[in-house]
Structure 1
Amino acid sequence: MNTTITCFGETLWDVLPTSKQPGGAPMNVAADLRNFGINAQMISRVGSDELGTELLDFIAQKGLPLELIQIGQTHLTGVAKANISDANEVTYKIVQPVAWDYIQQAPNLTEAVRNSDFFVYGSLAARSPQTHETLLALLDVAQRKVFDVNLRAPHYERGLVEELLHRADIAKLNEHELIELSAWYGEESDLHAAMHQLRARYALDVLCVTLGEHGAVLLDESGLYSQVGFPVEVADTIGSGDAFLAGFLYKTVQNEPAQKTLEFACATGAYVATQRGATPAFTEETIRTTILLPALPV
């Protein structure tokens, strides 16, 4: 598969009560895409500290190239303190400022994004002026732009999110984020109506809204598609939304119909929820045999 997908933004350590796990939404998406055999790569920045070295080692182990990950001398590697007391809604305290707040524009980044089929970005990395400026420059050369909205209070404000939505071709968000965005405009609180309004407002090709354990909904030019959730025993939900996006992009690349794409994306997110940590190893066959096939009628 010759498709190249570049993910941009935060790489960090999720600090859990008894351990630390590599994380950051764009890095999780990139690692999951590599599981599927996609040529995924990551643009980010780490510190020249022990945590940075460990993170680079982990990223390399996941098969991701390191050429687009900068190493800074003045800021520490990113850390997020995760609260997993609610198994279905992990919350984070994200340290600021850290290395990924200072991603510098460079010719190799521009070339990588220009030559990619998809460019994945979120709102969190744009919290700082330097990385925000770099992101906007890369969006200027990106082919297909995928906005993983990923609102993390207090690291965003309305104008920033609107700016990034206007640049997107595809947007993915969860139902709570959709409610918040719809409230900005005093629009429909009904899920489907709100999706139609948001897609129209920002001229999006595709809008995906995840519903946690209840599945997801997809809206594109051909219509609205719904997928119920897959019942699984949850280990933790860290990385499940990122896995959903990776599954969605994997099937989008294969030109699968919207309903099949949505089903597979939900199954990928469900599988990751059964595993500890954000980036377990898996293949398409793993998803099919452990999540999809058991749900088929006998």
Structure 2
Amino acid sequence: MQQKIVCFGETLWDVLPSGKQPGGAPMNVAIHLRRNGFDPVVVSRVGDDDLGKELISFLKKQQVNTEWLQTGQTHLTGVVKANISDRNEVTYKIVEPVAWDYIQYEDRIADLISQSDVFIYGSLVARNITSQETLFQCLPLPKLKIFDVNLRPPHYTLERVMTLLGFANIVKMNHQELAEICEWLGVEGNIATQMQFIKDRFSLDLVIVTRGENGAAALNDTGFFEHEGFRVEVEDTIGSGDAFLATFLTNYLQQKPLEQTLERACLVGAFLATHRGATPAYKPHEITSESLNSSNENRILHS
């Protein structure tokens, strides 16, 4: 696979009751893309501290390029306190300011992004003016821009989200984010109607909406598609959306039918929900509906 993919944004540690886990949506997506045969690049910033060194070491073990990870002396590596008391709806307390709030613009980063085929970004990295300005300088450069909305209160504003939507070619969000954005814009109707409005309003090629245990939907110029999802015993949902996006993108770039792409992404997202943390070890080709059902039945029998 020759596509050059850049994931821009936060790299951090998710702090769980069981201990800390590497996290941050852009990094998670990059790791899942690497497992699908790509060679993605993460543009982010960590602190010159033990946690930052651990993250770099972790990414190297995952065979993800760390050349573009900046190291800062002033701010510590990012930490997020994750509350998994509701396994289906994880909540987060995101510490600030931290290193990834201060991603510095560099000409070499701009060159990297301008030569990329795919650029993935989210809303969280734009919470601080430094990383926000770096992102806005880079957004006009890439060929294909994918906005992974990822709203984390209180780290976003309506104006900022609208601006980020305006740059995108493809948008991925969850059903709650779709409802919130449509409420801002005064849009009613069912999910297909709301997705069509978002697509038209921001001149998008594709809108993807995940719906948790109810699967996902996608809408492009050829129509509206949905998949009901896979029923599993949930360990936690951390990183499920990131695995979904990486899997969807893998199949989308291979120009597979949208129905097939959506089903595959739902399958891998469901698989992630049966494991702890955002990046458990797996081989994509080994994940099938049959293996997922078998694993789920074994988990229920032994619970």
Length-normalised TM-score, structure 2: 0.95
Contact 2:12–2:55 (CA under 8 A) maintained in structure 1: yes
Structure 2 CA distance, aligned partners of 1:144 and 1:16?
A: 34
Equivalent residue, structure 2, for 1:103: 103
Quote how far apart the aligned CAs of 1:74 are.
0.2
Determine if the alignment matches structure 1 residue 156 to structure 2 residue 156. yes
Contact 2:206–2:218 (CA under 8 A) maintained in structure 1: yes
Q: Which portions of structure 1, spanning 4 or more consecutive aligned residues, are displaced by more than 6 angstroms? A: 292-295
* Paired-residue identity, %: 52
- CA deviations 1:87-144 (Å, max 9, x no partner) are 1011100000000000001122112212211100000000001100110111111110
- CA deviations 1:149-208 (Å, max 9, x no partner) are 000000000000000000000000000000000001211142111111111111110000
Query: Which AA in structure 2 matches 1:59?
Result: L
Equivalent residue, structure 1, for 2:230: 230
Contact 2:149–2:172 (CA under 8 A) maintained in structure 1: yes
Query: Which AA in structure 2 matches 1:65?
Result: N
Structure 1 CA distance, aligned partners of 2:291 and 2:133?
A: 42
Alignment of 1:132-151 (within 5 A): 132-151=132-151
Aligned to 1:126, the other structure's residue is in SS state helix
Structure 2 CA distance, aligned partners of 1:55 and 1:270?
A: 25
Structure 1 CA distance, aligned partners of 2:223 and 2:295?
A: 28
Contact 2:168–2:204 (CA under 8 A) maintained in structure 1: yes
Quote how far apart the aligned CAs of 1:244 are.
0.6
Query: Which AA in structure 2 matches 1:180?
Result: E
Equivalent residue, structure 1, for 2:299: none
Structure 2 CA distance, aligned partners of 1:151 and 1:201?
A: 19
Equivalent residue, structure 2, for 1:290: 291
Contact 1:179–1:189 (CA under 8 A) maintained in structure 2: no
Equivalent residue, structure 2, for 1:257: 257
- Count residues in correspondence: 295
Alignment of 1:239-258 (within 5 A): 239-258=239-258
Query: Which AA in structure 1 matches 2:97?
Result: P
Structure 1 CA distance, aligned partners of 2:294 and 2:182?
A: 36
Length-normalised TM-score, structure 1: 0.96
Structure 2 CA distance, aligned partners of 1:260 and 1:294?
A: 22
Structure 1 CA distance, aligned partners of 2:32 and 2:240?
A: 10
Equivalent residue, structure 2, for 1:167: 167
Structure 1 CA distance, aligned partners of 2:283 and 2:251?
A: 13
Structure 1 CA distance, aligned partners of 2:76 and 2:130?
A: 16
Change (3 A) 1:292 1:161: farther
Change (3 A) 1:144 1:293: farther
Query: Which AA in structure 1 matches 2:202?
Result: Y
Quote how far apart the aligned CAs of 1:293 are.
9.8
Structure 2 CA distance, aligned partners of 1:226 and 1:294?
A: 24
5+ residue gaps, structure 2, are 297-303
Equivalent residue, structure 2, for 1:21: 21
Alignment of 1:209-228 (within 5 A): 209-228=209-228
5+ residue gaps, structure 1, are none
Q: Tell me whether 75-84 or 195-204 shows the greater mean CA deviation.
A: 195-204
Query: Which AA in structure 2 matches 1:290?
Result: S
Aligned to 1:121, the other structure's residue is in SS state strand
Equivalent residue, structure 2, for 1:196: 196
